[in-house]
Amino acid sequence: MPKAYWISAYHAVHDENKLAAYAKLALPAVQEAGGKFIARGMAAKAYEAGVLQRTVIVEFESLEKAVACHDSPGYQAALAALGDGVTRDLRVVEGV
């Protein structure tokens, strides 16, 4: 079974306090679901239509576990704390 990855691209951070509240709740929720942070921080370089923005990649053992983590009560609480604190997109991609 292939692994799966969350890829979050932050387009803008509107409220650092909301982002911090989110991170405090999201980290344990992701770890409880077996997620492993592969990369987290500002892009070192951007090509083509890319921009230098915060990017986070989390690895999960399967697509099912990645989706279950996102839909879990713990992660949903983190999203509620984040609210409108950022503009980002979160993609779930299955590994090859």
Give the model's confidence band at 50: pLDDT under 50 very low, under 70 low, under 90 confident, else very high: confident
**pLDDT exceeding 90 applies to what percent of the chain?**
95
The CATH number assigned to the domain holding 53 equals: 3.30.70.100
Give the model's confidence band at 1: pLDDT under 50 very low, under 70 low, under 90 confident, else very high: confident
Nearest Cα to Cα of residue 85 among 14, 8, 36: 14
Tokens at 2, concatenated:
């292939």
**How many domains would you assign to the chain?**
1
Q: Is 41 exposed, middle or buried (0-12, 13-18, 19+ CB in 10 A)?
A: exposed
Predicted local confidence at residue 28, as pLDDT:
97
**pLDDT exceeding 70 applies to what percent of the chain?**
100
Host domain of residue 16:
4-94
- Predicted confidence (pLDDT) per residue in 2-35, tens digit: 999 999 999 999 999 999 999 999 999 999 999 9
